[in-house]
Structure 1
Amino acid sequence: MSPAPDERDRIRAAMDRILQGAPQHSNGALTIVALAQEADVPRNALTQRHLDLKNDFYAQVRSRGQTPDSEIRLRQQIVKLKELRAEDTAELSQLRTDVDHLVRVVHQLTVENRQLRGALSQSASSVRVLPTQPHPNRTL
């Protein structure tokens, strides 16, 4: 599919309108999506056919000291992901500490269990096995 003959002109005009803050067909965001909408062209016209215009648009945005909206969103997402990573790191540290404590408890209980089994095996043991009582909901 070949581009419309006036496509580049429409994109340039749309760039001017967006950069002047007077969009007519889009929300005026400093993004390729808004530029494509403003120029009434498919987005892939800017990402595949007219890369020079896309790069020129972003260069003009940066030269005016502005940051493209897509970059702002990405920076916000980076901040959020760093916060989540810090939370995950703290949780992982706590879980490792908990595992260490649980290993110690299991070891202590294993030692006590061995001692009790040893005491049970001795004939003169003061430890006695108590009879078990049936569960109230269980039938015999």
Structure 2
Amino acid sequence: MSPTPDERDRIRAAMERILGGTPERSNGALTIVALSIEAGVPRNALTQRHTDLKNEFYDKVRARGGTPDSEQRLHKQVRRLKELRAADAEEIAQLKADVEALAGALQQATMENSHLRQQLADRHAVIRALPTQAPLGR
């Protein structure tokens, strides 16, 4: 799709309306999507053909002391992902500790089983049964 001759003018006018707080077609968000809707142009017009206007829009948003909505969403997502990563690292550390404890218990049980098998093989050894525990809840 080729650009219309007045495309840049429509984008600049839309920029002024959004930054002035008087959008006519969009929700007025400080995003490229809202700007493209406001200007009546496809989004790729700003991301591919008129990147200078896209950058100008974001520069004006920053100059006003604001952060574009898309950037705010990304910062929020980065914070959430960092929190998830920290939680995952904590869980991994706990799982590693559990694996070590279970490996130790398995080794202990294997050694005890081996020892009991040796005693069983030796007919002269005295093996006595240990009392069993009653199941919990009785």
TM-score over 0.5 for the pair = yes
Distance 1:56 1:118 in 2: 83
Q: Which amino acid aligns with 1:94?
A: Q
Give the corresponding residue for 1:127: 127
Alignment of 1:16-95 (within 5 A): 16-95=16-95
Identity %: 62
TM-score by length of 2: 0.90
Q: Which amino acid aligns with 2:123?
A: S
Q: Which amino acid aligns with 2:96?
A: R
Distance 1:33 1:50 in 2: 14
Unaligned runs of 5+ in 1: 129-140
Distance 1:3 1:123 in 2: 96
Distance 1:49 1:97 in 2: 55
Shift of 1:18: 0.4
- Number of equivalences: 129
Q: Which amino acid aligns with 2:85?
A: R
Q: Which amino acid aligns with 2:8?
A: R
Shift of 1:123: 1.2
- Is residue 4 of structure 1 aligned with residue 9 of structure 2? no
Distance 1:118 1:59 in 2: 80
TM-score by length of 1: 0.89
